């Protein structure tokens, strides 16, 4: 095969060389510094450190002793292996290639996913990893959106819900051509705004007989289905349905807690609301459903109470205030406790509360993002997946009260020989006394009391709080270590509009229409604290973020002069326009609520919170980054072009990068490498660690 050079080849070779050096440290050498090339190689799959939370989520076997999970193969990017872990002996056993393992209720078999694209189907194997067989033969494969699989309580059937991918379905039809085998005549490419042609395809629920393989379609449903599970009686299914109105008809978004008859497929909505994530689970006795709920139904995303509703329908009772929650509520086997995950400061933690009310109690408190909690069938242990502040990830099990946590599997062994900077939560008081949290990463071996150059990193959302992944380049959990290895401190700062600090803060920002101003004060006070404590050099600070973090960055450059440079990656500076373009064509109900009206009704509210109209006097050099519009999931370039032009005309150093055929996050390996090189050069050039870009 003829070899040929390609853009970024030197970048990849440098990454592989760094990885080789990292591997050699196990033979007695010291830890290897993190490099940008290495981080990109991990992220893009060259070194295969990428993993999916769903794929690695630990699941209990019915014996309450073993856990099954899947993990990436460090030697083969994109390949996963299913393994089991014995919590008594600490022994790990490799079972078979695949992902998303689901043990049968009787413990005799494991269902799992295998294959790629059209070959992706549900497979079965015995609990010892033997006797493999393909269970489903779904046309086009089961790799589409919102796929779920669940065993019936008697282990006789498997139910799965599936939302077909529009693009893949369209491509298959076009490939098939007409009935006589001749290609179809070219059709118009017109998009008729307000038509039904672009609505998501109906979701489907199927059951499969485990013994004979017979498949039965329960029905098609005009909604996207998530988190499918069975009632204990085996006669009904519970699922969360989200009807996305898409652009042009967002006001029709609706979420439902749905019960499906497992024999007839007849649907019954227990709870309905607008644009919410009503993810739930049935209690062990089948009498109640625990789920996330927003009683206000204000169409402001991702803040929910933990609530219960009778499984036959009835009044909803909220057990908590509104939280920034994730995952789904989980019942203890005796039905006396509901476990859930929510943000508490910089990290997500696992909490427990009685379904009858009372104060919640914290199960975890460590400096990590906790995900996918699972209770053992005997109720004595809990398992979860966590992403630690320094970039490492692992699956863990502990006592049901969180005591004595032990590692099930290290999901990032590639990081073990890297020289990582320490990471921890920090907190500070904002201007009005509100305590705000963040994550601070320091260089390895940083000398206390010696001020450092600092990168201030802002997360997107805004609702959702912090994450452990980098936000200037979006190349994963090791991104912050790029800066730490260069001798920079990193402050990943939260702000009140994230929702972590209470629903009352969201309401106050809406009432006074000063949420951008308040967020800026929170971020800036965090920087003040880092300077005051001797961590940050006040003359060498860069700020940046992705998505809403870029919106915050654009606000900062139009209201501050303290930063040496900025990076704004895919965040629109104009709320007025955001109301009706891209995914908001036809109107945006969230913005209508947030700004207390539509743009033509209260234009002053939109303008006063939009950085686009405040560019006069900007002095901070800024790098703008944008994808390729709605067809690829990115933003329109014109607002960024305006910001870029405004800085250029005022004599301020600026660059703008537009990545063709890329979306909200740059994905193609060659573009990820290019973006990383450019952002690192921009930051280094303005913090004095390298030549000006």
Instruction: Provide the 3-class DSSP secondary structure of residue 108.
Output: coil
User: Among the listed ranges 137-151, 359-373, 429-443, 643-657, which one has the minimum average pLDDT value?
Assistant: 137-151
pLDDT of 231-261, one tens digit each? 999 999 999 988 766 555 666 777 899 999 9
* Close Cβ partners of 521 (under 8 Å, ≥ 6 residues apart): 430, 431, 432
**H or E element that contains 468:** none
State which of 47-51, 212-216, 493-497 shows the largest mean pLDDT. 493-497
Q: What is the mean pLDDT of residues 154-170?
A: 81
- Write out the DSSP string of 235-256: SEEEEEEEE---TT-GGG-EEE
* pLDDT, position 275: 65
Q: Does one domain contain both 506 and 580?
A: no
Which one of 609, 634, 666 terminates a domain? 609
Q: Does one domain contain both 559 and 460?
A: yes
Q: 165-172: list long-range contacts, CB under 8 Å, 24+ apart.
A: 166/198, 166/200, 166/201, 168/140, 168/143, 168/144, 169/140, 169/201, 172/140
Query: Residue 679 domain-assigned?
Result: yes
If you count DSSP H runs as helices and E runs as strands, how many of each does the chain have, helices first?
13, 38
* Close Cβ partners of 645 (under 8 Å, ≥ 6 residues apart): none
Q: What is the CATH number of the domain that holds 475?
A: 3.40.50.1820
Q: Which of 12, 28, 36, 83 is nearest to 481 (CA)?
A: 36
* pLDDT, position 173: 60
Please give the residue that has the higher pLDDT: either 76 or 431. 431
Residue 460 banded pLDDT, cuts 50, 70, 90: very high
Residue 613 banded pLDDT, cuts 50, 70, 90: very high
* pLDDT, position 3: 33
User: Among the listed ranges 73-82, 533-542, 566-575, which one has the minimum average pLDDT value?
Assistant: 73-82
> Cα-Cα-Cα-Cα dihedral of 214, 219, 224, 225, to 10°?
-60
* Close Cβ partners of 548 (under 8 Å, ≥ 6 residues apart): 458, 459, 460, 461, 462, 571
- Write out the DSSP string of 390-441: TS-EEEEEEETTS-S-EEEEES-GGGTTEEPPPEEEEEEE-TTS-EEEEEEE
Q: How many domains, the chain? A: 3
* Close Cβ partners of 423 (under 8 Å, ≥ 6 residues apart): 367, 388, 389, 390, 391, 439, 440, 441, 442, 480
- Write out the DSSP string of 365-397: -SSEEEEEEEE-TTSSEEEEEEEETTS-EEEEE
Q: Does one domain contain both 568 and 595?
A: no
* pLDDT, position 72: 80
How far apart, in whole angstroms, are the C-alpha atoms of residue 609 and residue 185? 49
Q: Which of 490, 486, 476, 497 is nearest to 551 (CA)?
A: 497
Q: Can you say whether residue 562 is alpha, beta or left, with left for phi > 0 and alpha for psi between -120 and 50 degrees?
A: alpha
Q: Does one domain contain both 479 and 552?
A: yes
| pLDDT surpassing 80 at residue 299 | no
Instruction: Provide the 3-class DSSP secondary structure of residue 544.
Output: strand
* Close Cβ partners of 195 (under 8 Å, ≥ 6 residues apart): none
- Residue 19, domain extent: 9-44
Q: Does one domain contain both 478 and 587?
A: no
Q: What is the mean pLDDT of residues 89-117?
A: 94
Query: Residue 433 domain-assigned?
Result: yes
| pLDDT surpassing 80 at residue 170 | no
> Phi and psi dihedrals of 648, rounded to 5?
-60, -45
Q: Does one domain contain both 457 and 432?
A: yes
Q: What is the mean pLDDT of residues 658-670?
A: 92
Q: Which of 260, 250, 307, 251 is nearest to 279 (CA)?
A: 307
Q: Does one domain contain both 646 and 658?
A: yes
Q: Does one domain contain both 560 and 586?
A: no
User: Among the listed ranges 32-46, 122-136, 565-579, 671-685, which one has the minimum average pLDDT value?
Assistant: 32-46
**H or E element that contains 13:** helix 9-24
Q: What is the mean pLDDT of residues 479-508?
A: 96
Q: Does one domain contain both 530 and 662?
A: yes
Query: How far is the CA of 41 from the CAs of 34, 204, 328, 469, in angstroms?
Result: 11, 38, 32, 15
Average pLDDT, the chain: 88
Query: Residue 407 domain-assigned?
Result: no
Q: Can you say whether residue 402 is alpha, beta or left, with left for phi > 0 and alpha for psi between -120 and 50 degrees?
A: left
How far apart, in whole angstroms, are the C-alpha atoms of residue 296 and residue 273? 9
pLDDT of 544-557, one tens digit each? 999 999 999 999 99
Question: How many CB atoms within 10 Å of residue 514?
Answer: 15
How far apart, in whole angstroms, are the C-alpha atoms of residue 198 and residue 192? 9
Matching residue, tokens 């402001």: 300
Query: Residue 352 domain-assigned?
Result: no
* pLDDT, position 4: 33
Which one of 583, 609, 635 terminates a domain? 609
- How far from chain centre, in Å, is Cα 11? 27
Q: Does one domain contain both 438 and 482?
A: yes
pLDDT of 258-297, one tens digit each? 999 999 999 999 998 876 788 999 999 999 999 999 888 7
Q: Does one domain contain both 531 and 597?
A: no
Q: Does one domain contain both 477 and 533?
A: yes
Query: Residue 254 domain-assigned?
Result: no
Query: Residue 332 domain-assigned?
Result: no
How far apart, in whole angstroms, are the C-alpha atoms of residue 282 and residue 309? 10
| pLDDT surpassing 70 at residue 649 | yes
* pLDDT, position 177: 58
pLDDT of 188-232, one tens digit each? 888 777 776 667 778 899 999 999 999 999 999 888 888 999 999
Which one of 563, 583, 609 terminates a domain? 609
- Write out the DSSP string of 284-325: TTSSEEEEEE-TT----TT-BEEEEEETT----EE-S--B-E
Q: Are 508 and 474 in contact (CB under 8 A)?
A: no
Q: What is the mean pLDDT of residues 330-335?
A: 97
Please give the residue that has the higher pLDDT: either 19 or 359. 359
Query: Residue 479 domain-assigned?
Result: yes
Query: How far is the CA of 651 from the CAs of 291, 493, 554, 613, 642, in angstroms?
Result: 54, 30, 17, 18, 14
> Phi and psi dihedrals of 79, rounded to 5?
-100, 135
Q: Which of 359, 335, 282, 376 is nearest to 88 (CA)?
A: 376
* pLDDT, position 88: 96
Query: How far is the CA of 563 from the CAs of 329, 538, 553, in angstroms?
Result: 42, 9, 11
* pLDDT, position 633: 74
Please give the residue that has the higher pLDDT: either 186 or 357. 357
Query: Residue 656 domain-assigned?
Result: yes
* pLDDT, position 57: 80
How far apart, in whole angstroms, are the C-alpha atoms of residue 529 and residue 653? 28
* pLDDT, position 178: 52
Q: Which of 375, 351, 379, 346 is nearest to 363 (CA)?
A: 351
Strands 121-126 and 109-114: antiparallel
Q: Are 236 and 261 in contact (CB under 8 A)?
A: yes
* DSSP code of residue 56: H
């Amino acid at each position: 095969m003829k070899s040929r050079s390609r853009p970024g080849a030197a970048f990849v070779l440098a990454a592989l060389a760094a990885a080789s050096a990292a591997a050699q440290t196990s033979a007695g050498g010291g830890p290897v510094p993190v490099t940008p090339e290495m981080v990109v190689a991990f992220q893009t799959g060259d070194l295969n450190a990428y993993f999916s939370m769903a794929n690695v989520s630990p699941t209990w076997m019915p014996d309450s002793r073993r856990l099954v999970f899947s993990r990436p193969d460090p030697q083969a990017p994109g390949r996963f292996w299913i393994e089991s872990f014995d919590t008594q002996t600490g022994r790990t056993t490799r079972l078979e290639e695949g992902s998303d393992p689901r043990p049968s209720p009787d413990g005799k078999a494991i269902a799992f996913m295998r294959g790629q694209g059209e070959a992706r189907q549900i497979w079965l194997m015995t609990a010892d990893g033997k006797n493999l067989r393909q269970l489903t033969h779904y046309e086009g494969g089961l790799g589409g959106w919102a796929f779920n699989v669940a065993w019936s309580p008697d282990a006789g059937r498997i139910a799965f819900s599936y939302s077909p991918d529009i693009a893949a379905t369209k491509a298959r039809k076009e490939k098939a051509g007409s009935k006589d085998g001749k290609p179809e005549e070219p059709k118009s490419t017109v998009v008729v705004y307000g038509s039904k042609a672009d609505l998501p395809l109906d979701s489907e629920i199927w059951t499969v007989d485990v013994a004979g393989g017979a498949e039965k379609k329960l029905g098609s449903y005009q909604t996207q289905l998530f988190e499918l599970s069975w009632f204990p009686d085996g006669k009904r299914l519970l699922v969360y349905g989200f009807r996305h109105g898409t652009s042009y008809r967002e006001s029709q978004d609706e979420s439902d807690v749905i019960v499906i008859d497992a024999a007839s497929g007849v649907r019954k909505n227990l709870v309905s609301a607008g644009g919410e994530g009503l993810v739930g689970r049935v209690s062990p006795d089948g009498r109640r459903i625990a789920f996330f709920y927003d009683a206000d139904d204000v169409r402001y995303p991702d803040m929910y109470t933990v609530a219960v509703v009778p499984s036959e329908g009835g009044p909803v009772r909220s057990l908590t205030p509104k939280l920034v929650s994730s995952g789904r509520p989980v019942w203890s086997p005796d039905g006396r406790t509901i476990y859930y995950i929510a943000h508490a400061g910089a990290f997500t933690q696992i909490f427990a509360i009685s379904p009858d009310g009372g104060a919640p109690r914290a199960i975890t408190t460590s400096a990590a993002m906790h995900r996918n909690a699972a209770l053992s069938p005997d109720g004595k242990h809990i398992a979860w997946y966590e992403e630690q502040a320094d970039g490492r990830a692992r699956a863990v099990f502990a006592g049901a009260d969180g005591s004595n946590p032990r590692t099930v599997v290290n999901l990032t062994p590639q990081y073990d020989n890297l020289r990582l900077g320490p990471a921890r939560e920090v907190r500070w008081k904002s201007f009005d006394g509100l305590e705000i949290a963040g994550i601070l990463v320091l260089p390895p071996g940083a000398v206390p009391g010696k001020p450092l150059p600092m990168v201030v990193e802002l997360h997107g959302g805004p609702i959702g709080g912090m994450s452990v992944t980098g936000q200037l380049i979006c190349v994963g959990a090791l991104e912050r270590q790029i800066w730490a290895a260069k001798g920079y401190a990193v402050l990943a700062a939260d702000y009140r509009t994230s929702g972590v600090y209470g629903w009352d803060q969201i309401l106050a920002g809406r009432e006074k229409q000063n949420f951008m101003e308040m967020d800026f004060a929170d971020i800036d006070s965090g920087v003040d604290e880092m300077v005051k404590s001797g961590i940050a050099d006040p003359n060498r600070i860069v700020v940046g973020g992705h998505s809403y973090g870029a919106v915050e960055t654009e606000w900062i450059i139009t209201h501050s002069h303290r930063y040496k440079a900025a990076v704004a990656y895919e965040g629109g500076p104009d709320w007025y326009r955001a109301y009706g373009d891209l995914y908001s064509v036809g109107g945006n109900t969230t913005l209508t609520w947030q700004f207390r009206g539509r743009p033509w009704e209260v234009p002053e509210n939109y303008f006063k919170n939009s950085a686009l109209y405040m560019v006069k006097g900007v002095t901070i050099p800024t790098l703008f980054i944008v994808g390729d519009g709605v067809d690829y999931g990115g933003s329109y370039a014109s607002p960024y072009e305006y910001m870029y032009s405004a800085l250029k005309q005022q004599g301020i150093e600026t660059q703008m990068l537009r990545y063709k055929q890329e979306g909200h996050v740059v994905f193609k390996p060659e573009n990820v490498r290019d973006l990383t090189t450019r952002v690192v050069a921009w930051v280094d050039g303005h913090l004095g660690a390298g030549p000006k870009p």
